[in-house]
């Protein structure tokens, strides 16, 4: 079983993957308390971020999905979704 990460550790890993400080904090909070949320902002997003986030979630055993979608005028929609328990 993977060691449980603290919100600070989650934040720092996400920033190292190319997630902005603000977005990493929001994701860390969601993963820590087990909630789903959606937001939009214009913070920069690194190339391949969806795959990097999927790999991070799988590697650390988080039963979540994170999707980043570009919208108009340089903005992105972030969706953090808690998945149903695995059978």
Confidence of residue 85 (pLDDT cuts 50, 70, 90): confident
- What is the rounded average pLDDT for all residues in the chain? 93
Is pLDDT above 50 for 1? no
Mean pLDDT of 9-29: 97
Q: Output DSSP code: residue 71.
A: -
DSSP E strands, 1-87: 37-41, 64-70, 76-82
User: Is pLDDT at 22 greater than 90 in this prediction?
Assistant: yes
Domains of the chain: 7-82 (3.30.1370)
Q: How many CB atoms lie within 10 A of CB 66?
A: 22
Token representation of residue 83: 């998945």
The model's pTM: 0.92
């Amino acid at each position: 079983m993977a060691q449980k990460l603290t919100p600070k550790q989650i934040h720092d890993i996400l920033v190292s993957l190319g997630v902005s400080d603000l977005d990493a904090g929001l994701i860390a909070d969601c993963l820590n308390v087990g909630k789903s949320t959606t937001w939009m902002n214009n913070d920069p997003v690194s190339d391949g971020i969806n795959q990097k986030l999927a790999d991070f979630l799988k590697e650390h055993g988080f039963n979540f999905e994170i999707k980043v979608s570009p919208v108009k005028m340089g903005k992105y929609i972030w969706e953090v979704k808690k998945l149903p328990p695995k059978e």
